[in-house]
Amino acid sequence: MHDLRDAWRALRATPIVSGVAILSLALGIGANTAIFSILDSLLLKPLPVREPHRLVLVGSDDPYGDASHSYAIWTEIRDRRLFDRPFAWATDRVSLASTGEADFAEAIWATGNFFDVLGVPAILWQARFGGAPDAIGRTLTIHGAPFTIVGVTPPEFLGLHVGFPFDVILPLDTEALTDRRPPHMDSRYWSWVQIMARLAPHETPEALNNTLRLAQPQIRQATMPDFRRPQDRDRFLTKPWTVRPAPSGVSRLRRQYTPALLTLVGVVGLVLVVACANIGLLLIARTAARRYELSVRLALGASQRRLVRQLLVESLLLSAIGAAIGLAFAQWGARLLVAQLSNWYYTVFVDLSLDRRVLGVTAAVTIATAILFGTAPAYRAVRVEPIEALKLQPRGLTGGASAGLGGWLVVVQVALSLMLVVGAGLFLRSFAALAYRDLGFDRSRVVIAVVDARRTTVPPSGRAALFERVREAAASVAGVESAATSMATPLGNAGVRFTRDLEVPQDVGDGSRLERPPTPVPLVPTPVPQVFTTPVSPGWFRTYGTRLLAGRDFKASDAASAAPVAIVNQAFARRHLGGANPIGRTMVETTDPNNRRAMEIVGLVEDAAFTSVRDAIEPTMYLPLAQGVEEDVLANVPSVCVSVRAVQPARLTKSLAAAIGVVDGNLSIEFQSVVEQLNYYYIRERLLALVSAFFGALALLLAALGLYGVTAFAVNRRRTEIGIRMALGASPGAVARLVIGRVVRLVVAGVAIGILVSFWTVRVIGALLYGLQPRDPLTFGAACALLLIVAIGAASVPTWRASRIEPASVLKEA
C-alpha cells in the first residue's frame, strides 16, 4: 500500500505525462480487448445451455462448411437411433402477426425435445410483450397459421446460431400447417435442418462419427432426391458427414469474418507495442527529470531494488488505470464493430458481456504492458552513481545510457508504425479497388421488389401471367423509367439461380474475337456442365444498365411456345466459344437426358457480377422468363424479383407497393436496393479498411509524440552544448541540421527495419486483398514518405527552438 500511495503521488506530480500514458494504454488495451471479445463471442464462448461441451453437430468435413440437411435425412437419422439424444432445428424468416399488424420475424423451427436436451426453460416473457403476465396463451399468426404462446425463453438464450438471435421458436413438424407451399419438410432437395445431439456419458465424437459413417450409405440411398443427372446422384451419395463438437453452436459469421478478425488482432497488438514504446519514452523523460530525487534516495541508503520496485509499481498503476478505461472503450468499440457487420437484411447481435476469458486476457495484457514499458526505464534510472547524478550539469542525452534506450525505442516505434501504415494503405487501396470495380450493372438507380405469391389463390400455372401484370403495374408508376422481372438479381439474396448442362458448338479461337467467322467452320458439340442460368423478362438489361454488345434483347414474342432462345455474357463466349461471335449459334440443353432442347443464341451482353464482387465473373446464360421457368419451379419458388429503374428509386417504394397491391392484395412485397445489397459484400473490406486506417493514424500520432518528446528532451539536456557551439560561431542552420540529423538517422533506421519486416509479414494478408499484391511498391513508398513527413513535422518545433537559443543567456545559466 505504501508503494501504491507513492506511485499515485508520483503520477499526480506529472499530470500531462501520466494522462498521455494512460490514454495511450486505454486505446491499446481497449482495442485488444474489443477484438478479443468479438472473437470470444463468435468462436470460444460456450452456449448458455446445460453442459455445452457435450453437444455435437452433424456436418461436413469443413468446420465452417454447410451443416444443413433435408427433413428426410433428419427423420432417417432419428429413426435409426444412431445418437442418444438427437434433435433438429432450422432458422427461418417468417411472416408474423400478433396485434393485427404483420411483420417479419426470425424464427427457429425445433423438434419437441429441443428445450429438454439443451436444458433451457421456456418460462419467461419479455421481448415482444414487455413482460406482460398474460403473454402465455396469446395467439400469433405465422405464415397464415395460428400459434399459441406457451412460454418465453430466458433472456440469455439467443439460440444456437451465434450472431443471429431469434424472435420465436416453433414446432418443426408444424411447418406443413403454414401457407408455405410446398412445405420445406416435404422436399428432399431443400437442405435447411441442422442436426445436433448430446453425447452420452463416456461417449466421444469420434465414436459417433464412426457409427454415422457406417450408416451413411443406407441413409443417403433412402433420402436421395430425384436427381436427373448421374453426377448429382454420385455427389449426394458420396459426400461425407462428420460429427464434430459444437459447444459454441454454429455461425456463418465464422467463415466470413474470422480471418479479418485475426488480422485485426495483429493490428491492435502492434498498436499496443507502439503505445508501450511511446510510454517508455515518456518514462525515460520523467525518470530523467527525477534524477536528483532518485540520487538523493540512493545517497541516503535506499537500495536499487527498492527504487526499481517503486518505479514498476508506478508502471503497473498506469497500466491498471489504462486497462480500466480501456474496458469501457472495449465495450463501446466492440459494439461499434459488431454494428458494422449488420446489413439491410439481418442484424448481427453477439453476447459481448465480460466473462472470465475476456477479463483474464485484459489482466494478462495489463501486466505484460507494465513489464514491457516499465522494466527497462526503471533499471536505467537507478543504475547511476549518486555523486554523478547530483552534479549540477547532467550529461546530454547523446552521452548517457538513456540516449541509447530512447533511440532504440524510437526506432522500434517507427518500424512498427510503418508496418501499420503499410497495412492500412493496402486495405484502403483494396477496398477502393473493390468498391470501384465495374460490376456490369447500374448501382444507384435500381430498386428491387421481391414479390411473393404464396398467400394468393393463383395456382402455379397462372403465376407467370400474375408476375407479368405485377411488372406492368410497376412500370406504370410515375417516375419509373423501366421495369423487368427475373428469378434472381445481381448479388442479391432473393430468388434463385439455376444451373443447366449444355452441348455448345465450339471452334478454336484466340479468346478475343467477337466477329462471326467469314466462312463456315466445322463445329464440334462439346459438353459444358452446370452453366449458371438466369431467367429474365424483356427489358431486364436496359433496367440494370447492362450493355447489349451484339444481337437483340428478349421480346414479348419469346413465349413458352416459341423457339427457345438465349443470351450469353462475354465470359461464356470467351470460355466456351473461343471468343467467337456467338450470335446465331445453337446450343443443346442436356440437363434432362430424356428431354434435350435446342436453343439459339440471339444476344451477347457484357459481364455482370451475380455471386461475388471479388471473383471473376462466371459464364452465364440468360433465358426468357417464359421459357426458363417451369411450372414445378414456380411451385417451389413462388416469388419473383421486380427490378425498377428510376432517378431516385428509393422514393418510389410506397407508390410501387400501392400499384402492386392493386394487382393482388395478397401479394407479399419486400423492397431491396442494389446499393444495400452491395454494402453487404463490402462489409469485411470496409471493416478492415476503416479499423486499420484508424489504428494506422493512431500509430502515426504516437510516433509523432515520441519523436517530439525525445527531440525536445535531447534539446533541453543539450542547451549548454548548443549555446557553446553557437558562441563559437555555429549558425542556427547548423544547429538545426545537428538536431534534425539525429531524428532522420533514427527514422531511416526504423523505416529500413519496418520495410524488411513488412515485406515478410504482408504475405499473410494477401488473401484479404483485392486488385493489388501485398508487396505493392506504391503503398510501401507512400507509407515511407508519409512517415518521414510526420517525423520531420514532429521534430520541427524542438529543432526551431534549438536554433533560437541565445548563447549568452545559456552560458549565464550554466
- For 312-358, the pLDDT digits (tens) are 888 888 888 988 999 998 999 889 888 888 876 677 888 888 888 88
Spatial CB neighbours of 662, under 8 Å, sequence gap ≥ 6: 473
Spatial CB neighbours of 584, under 8 Å, sequence gap ≥ 6: 516, 600, 601
Cα three-residue angle 613-615-619, rounded to 5 degrees? 105
Q: What are phi and psi of 643, to 5 degrees?
A: -95, 130
- Determine whether 68 is exposed, middle or buried from the number of CB atoms within 10 Å of its CB (0-12, 13-18, 19+): middle
Residues 124 and 238 in one domain: yes
More confident position, 609 or 18 = 609
Pairing of strands 597-605, 565-569: parallel
Are 553 and 522 a contacting pair, CB within 8 Å?
A: no
Are 270 and 422 a contacting pair, CB within 8 Å?
A: no
Q: What are phi and psi of 638, to 5 degrees?
A: -85, 45
Q: Which of 647, 643, 678, 170 is nearest to 434 (CA)?
A: 678
Residue 484 CB neighbour total at 10 angstroms: 24
3-state DSSP assignment of residue 40 = helix
Three-state secondary structure readout of 110-141: ECCCHHHHHCCCCCCCCCCCCCCCCCCCCEEE
Is 441 among the domain residues? no
The span from the CA of 794 to the CA of 803, in Å, is 16
Cα three-residue angle 592-598-603, rounded to 5 degrees? 120
- Determine whether 413 is exposed, middle or buried from the number of CB atoms within 10 Å of its CB (0-12, 13-18, 19+): buried
Dump pLDDT digits (tens) for 57-115.
998 766 666 678 999 999 999 999 888 889 999 998 887 765 544 567 889 999 999 99
The span from the CA of 540 to the CA of 645, in Å, is 10
> What is the count of structural domains for the chain?
4
Q: Which helix (H) or strand (E) holds 495?
A: none
Spatial CB neighbours of 468, under 8 Å, sequence gap ≥ 6: 485, 537
Spatial CB neighbours of 676, under 8 Å, sequence gap ≥ 6: 343, 344
Return the minimum-mean-pLDDT range out of 306-310, 392-396, 442-446.
Answer: 392-396
Confidence of residue 736 (pLDDT cuts 50, 70, 90): confident
Are 38 and 292 a contacting pair, CB within 8 Å?
A: no
Residues 386 and 288 in one domain: yes
The span from the CA of 125 to the CA of 133, in Å, is 8
Is 73 among the domain residues? yes
> Among 604, 636, 666, which residue terminates a domain?
666
The span from the CA of 313 to the CA of 113, in Å, is 56
Is 688 among the domain residues? yes
Spatial CB neighbours of 561, under 8 Å, sequence gap ≥ 6: none
Cell, residue 410: 524510437
Question: Residue 511 has what pLDDT?
Answer: 41
Is 674 among the domain residues? no
Are 608 and 596 a contacting pair, CB within 8 Å?
A: no
Q: Which of 502, 298, 277 is nearest to 410 (CA)?
A: 277
Is 499 among the domain residues? yes
Dump pLDDT digits (tens) for 127-169.
444 445 566 778 888 877 888 888 888 888 888 999 888 888 9
Return the minimum-mean-pLDDT range out of 353-367, 379-393, 542-556.
Answer: 379-393
Question: Residue 52 has what pLDDT?
Answer: 93
> Among 338, 362, 391, which residue terminates a domain?
391
Residues 497 and 572 in one domain: yes
Query: Residue 640: what residue type?
Result: V
Query: Residue 2: what residue type?
Result: H
Residues 643 and 727 in one domain: no
Is 587 among the domain residues? yes
Q: Which domain holds residue 724?
A: 410-436+683-814
Under the phi-then-psi rule, with left for phi > 0, alpha for psi from -120 to 50, and beta for the rest, what region is 240?
beta
pLDDT (mean) for 203-228: 89
Handedness of CA 333, 336, 341, 347 (dihedral sign): positive
The span from the CA of 135 to the CA of 402, in Å, is 70
Are 197 and 86 a contacting pair, CB within 8 Å?
A: yes
Q: Indicate the angle between helix axes 253-289 and 15-39, nearest 10 degrees.
A: 160
Question: Residue 124 has what pLDDT?
Answer: 43
Residues 272 and 182 in one domain: no
Question: Residue 513 has what pLDDT?
Answer: 45
Cell, residue 182: 410446398
Residues 152 and 61 in one domain: yes
Strands (E), 143-249: 145-148, 168-171, 193-198, 242-245
Is 678 among the domain residues? no
Under the phi-then-psi rule, with left for phi > 0, alpha for psi from -120 to 50, and beta for the rest, what region is 562?
beta
Cell, residue 729: 560561431
> Among 247, 278, 294, which residue terminates a domain?
247
Residues 494 and 634 in one domain: yes
Residues 470 and 613 in one domain: yes
Residues 549 and 635 in one domain: yes
3-state DSSP assignment of residue 204 = coil
The span from the CA of 530 to the CA of 591, in Å, is 8
- Determine whether 297 is exposed, middle or buried from the number of CB atoms within 10 Å of its CB (0-12, 13-18, 19+): middle
Residues 427 and 519 in one domain: no
Dump pLDDT digits (tens) for 575-627.
888 888 899 888 888 777 777 888 899 999 999 998 888 888 989 999 998 88
The span from the CA of 474 to the CA of 477, in Å, is 6
More confident position, 332 or 226 = 332
Cα three-residue angle 438-444-446, rounded to 5 degrees? 105
Which range of 274-278, 320-324, 773-777 scores highest in mean pLDDT? It is 773-777
DSSP code string of 731-773: -HHHHHHHHHHHHHHHHHHHHHHHHHHHHHHGGGGGGG--SS-
Residues 294 and 169 in one domain: no
Cell, residue 140: 400469433
Cell, residue 411: 526506432
The span from the CA of 608 to the CA of 547, in Å, is 10
Length of the chain: 814
Residues 64 and 30 in one domain: no
The CA-atom distances, in angstroms, between 155 and each of 43, 171, 366 are: 21, 20, 32
Is 396 among the domain residues? no
What is the biggest distance separating any 2 CA atoms in the chain, rounded to whole angstroms? 107
